[in-house]
Amino acid sequence: MTLTKYGWKQWSCITVVLAIPLVVFIWLGWWIGVIAVVALWLALVSFFRNPWRRIPTGLETGTMLSPADGTISAIERVDHHGAIGGEALIIRIFLSVLNVHINRAPCACTLKEMIYTPGKFLDARTAESAQVNECNLLIFDNNGEPLGVRQVSGKIARHIVCPLKAGDSLTQGQQFGMIKYGSTTELILPRPDDVETKVNVGDKVKAGVTVFCVLNDSAIVTP
């Protein structure tokens, strides 16, 4: 396990700041203080942990992997979504401060557009937060079809990280950013009738590992 590059400024700062009392406590021989500082360092930098993941291979065509770690908080169908340009199925994941916060690509895709929207910082556990909080919408090209992933800030999370730019291609399970502290990530799929969901509300999922759903390609009509 390593620490993510997306949070190097934070974990570097934490390390430098806590190194000062650590050195002092070691010099004084106050080992209880040393243990306390080390425990605090582990607790703070664990948010930026980047565990090694074995990305599944040989998956059925159209299989989508979870774009985030967390708990499925909602699965809903909407008549229109801007990322898709029509009907869409949204699978929403709530990430607590204890979850790994690195986002991963649900499938092999290419970024078409990234739309950042400023907003509020309501508790990510509320339904309203998904509608009004600061967010970053990524619209991908998935074999000629649009696919959306939305990073949503929470009450504590106030910094969305996404270094991608239009034209960047991702492999399935590849890391592409993170949301610092509790937040929400959404996978937005076209053709809801052709989506076979593999998760339910309340399920625990892992980015790049958990099979989210299968988007059946039988309904695609070639112009």
pLDDT digits (tens, 9 = 90+) for 23-56: 999 999 999 999 999 999 998 888 889 999 999 9
Residue 58 lies in a domain: no
Task: Indicate if 84 and 107 belong to the same structural domain.
Answer: yes
Residue 102 lies in a domain: yes
Number of domains in the chain: 2
Rounded to the nearest 5°, which phi and psi values hold at 34?
A: -60, -45
Q: Domain containing 42: what range? A: 2-50
Catalytic annotation present for 183: yes
Same structural domain for residues 27 and 114?
no
pLDDT beyond 70 at 95: yes
Q: Does one domain contain both 82 and 25?
A: no
Q: Does residue 221 lie within any of the structural domains?
A: no
Decide if 108 contacts 170 (C-beta within 8 A).
Answer: yes
pLDDT tens figures, 195-207 = 999 999 999 999 9
Residues 130, 68 within the same domain: yes
In-domain check, residue 46: yes
Catalytic site residue from 46, 129, 183, 218 = 183
* Domain assignment present for 40: yes
Nearest Cα neighbor of 107 from 82, 73, 141, 77 is 141
d(CA 58, CA 149): 23
pTM value is 0.86
Tell whether 222 is covered by a domain: no
